[in-house]
Amino acid sequence: MFNIWINKQDDDLANSGNQTENLLVFNLFDKNNKSNVKTDAEQLWRRFGCQSLSDISEDLLVIAISVFCADKRIPRKKSTDNWTRRIKLHLPVLEVEKWTVVKNELEKTLRFLSGDNWTFEFRQSTSKFRSNKKNTKYKLIDKQKYDSVSLFSGGLDSFCGALTLSEKQKNTCFVGFREYNLLTSRQHELFNEIDKAYPAINKELILFNANPLAPIQWNGEKGRLGAESSSRSRSFLFLAGAVAIASIIGEGTPVFIPENGFIGINVPLTDSRSGSCSTRTTHPIFLKTLNQILQLVGLNHTIKNFYWDKSKGEIVAEHTEKLVFQNNAHRTLSCSHPCLSRYDRKYDKSIEIPCNCGYCYPCLIRRASFLAIGKDNTVYNSVYKLNSEFLTQYSKLQGRASDLKAVLFSLRRYFKHKDDKEYIRTLLVRQGPLSMDEITSYERLYHKSMNELLEMLKFEDAQSGGGLIEYLGLKDLIEDAQLS
């Protein structure tokens, strides 16, 4: 069990009487230079001229920052199975009774999201988080001009989501996360192009960050744990920031998280990915339970994914005629590691960072979606081509071929069972129960997305010398399925 103590002021721990050995401490003080969590989350409210958030909105944000800090600074390799950690968070909250009521639901929801065993211990706090200043740097945002909040990562789905909201005349505050400085300029670039394309629509982009440094141990030493790269709880922090803004705009303001339903339901590509190795950010179970928690604590904002029943190819097809899409979609970043290509510059000096690698799972789905509309102007990492050589040569090079191999395995499984309705539905509910309407919609979506991936791989075979469709006997299975 990892015990994590979160401080909002200097005397919290000293006055607690807690003597737990090996306690790890994160300080969220008013001044960044006294904290080991470097964050500018306060601009979520200062940009609106507010000195602080409502108590319950602040609590949600502090909880989310704390979860993210623990997630990022406790390596999964420290757990017995190299993945599932047991983490106990001791948290200061302003509305302690409300959070005590939803404690069990919150623990279950985050367990589903990250795959870890979370335990929360809430304690009463009276100190407001960074409520000591007002905005003196930015032009104030008039909350009266906005009616919705949406996440904006700079990815293809969130870019399309912003176009959809603008087409529907939604005046939206877009919220993004600055985990890597290299991505910030791209987020601003894409947002500015959307702003120019829809000048009559009110829109604003607010980016914030939370960078947990090494935690302090109870004995005063820095925690020597390293870092964790999986960041499964990051989306919870994104959403907490978005809900904070929605609470400022007004009661009932919706929060949107646009993502294709294929990633949302995220059928594990292989049996080894059936756990938390598959993201669950927009899985209907996570969104339903999180929405229930929000309602129970009095945050009347519903988180919605209006792309939940669409494939990425279908989303892209909705916008292909728009000039803003044609000129900018290739600049979006779907990649799970858009800054990794800096390590490949010794092979290709022309690689622009950040870029889409072209071979991770999100990039493979991206390639399939663009092929569905017939044109992909994305510049992928040119060091690697999707062919049989990539499968063999790069399988041991930091696992670069692992996602492609998993997709090929998944396609093989699909064509072996594609006419078995019960088997397909079993895959869809592997991560949790769904309603019959959801199963019907996801079943269609699964067939559609798997065929988009197949067509992309056939195209890459034709372009790069073949070898993909022959992998694992996939070609014979496809031919047999087509004959039947």
Peptide bond into 212 cis (omega under 30): no
Least confident among 65-74, 336-345, 358-367, 467-476: 336-345
Beta strands in 178-304 (DSSP E): 203-208, 210-212, 216-217, 255-256, 303-304
Task: DSSP for 392-461, please give it.
Answer: HHSTTSTTTTHHHHHHHHHHHHHHHHTT-HHHHHHHHTTTS---HHHHHHHHHHHHHHHHHHHHHHHHHH
Average pLDDT over residues 384-404: 80
3-state secondary structure of 482: helix
Task: DSSP for 7-64, please give it.
Answer: ESSTTHHHHH----TT-EEEE--SSGGG-SEEE-TTHHHHTTT-SS--HHHHHHHHHH
Task: DSSP for 83-134, please give it.
Answer: S--EEEEEEEES-HHHHHHTHHHHHHHHHHHHSSEEEEEEEE----TT-S--
Nearest to 316 by CA among 448, 418, 188: 448
Residue 18 has pLDDT above 60, yes or no: no
Residue 274 has pLDDT above 90, yes or no: no
Residue type, 25: V
Residue 83 has pLDDT above 90, yes or no: no
The number of CA neighbours under 13 Å toward the Cβ of 236 is: 30
Q: Dihedral angle at the C-alpha atoms of 358, 363, 368, 374, nearest 10 degrees?
A: -60
Average pLDDT over residues 207-213: 94
pLDDT in tens, 278-295: 678 999 999 999 999 999
Q: Are strands 24-27 and 216-217 parallel, antiparallel or unpaired?
A: antiparallel
Residue 21 has pLDDT above 70, yes or no: no
Residue 168 has pLDDT above 60, yes or no: yes
Query: Phi then psi for 89, rounded to 5 degrees?
Result: -105, 125
Cα angle at 326 between 322 and 328, to 5 degrees?
A: 115
For the chain, which residues make up each domain, given as ranges? 334-483
pLDDT in tens, 171-181: 999 999 987 77
Instruction: Centre a 10 Å sphere on the Cβ of residue 207 and count the other Cβ atoms it contains.
Output: 20
Average pLDDT over residues 234-247: 97
The model's confidence at residue 27, banded by pLDDT at 50, 70 and 90, is very high
Q: Is the dihedral of CA 139, 145, 146, 151 positive or negative?
A: negative
Residue 22 has pLDDT above 90, yes or no: no
- The residue among 17 and 466 whose pLDDT is bigger is 466
What size, in residues, is the chain? 484
* This prediction's pTM: 0.94
d(CA 49, CA 456): 49
Q: What are the CA-CA distances from residue 379 to residues 222, 331, 454 (Å)? A: 42, 8, 21
3-state secondary structure of 186: helix
DSSP H or E stretch at residue 291: helix 284-297
d(CA 4, CA 265): 31
The model's confidence at residue 79, banded by pLDDT at 50, 70 and 90, is confident
pLDDT for res 276: 45
For the record, the structure tokens of 460 come out as 């890459």
Instruction: Centre a 10 Å sphere on the Cβ of residue 346 and count the other Cβ atoms it contains.
Output: 7
Cα angle at 182 between 181 and 187, to 5 degrees?
A: 90
d(CA 64, CA 120): 12
pLDDT for res 456: 95
- Supply the mean pLDDT for the chain: 90
Q: What are the CA-CA distances from residue 372 to residues 320, 357, 380 (Å)? A: 11, 19, 17
d(CA 304, CA 256): 5
pLDDT for res 308: 98
Residue 396 makes CB contacts below 8 A (sequence gap 6+) with none
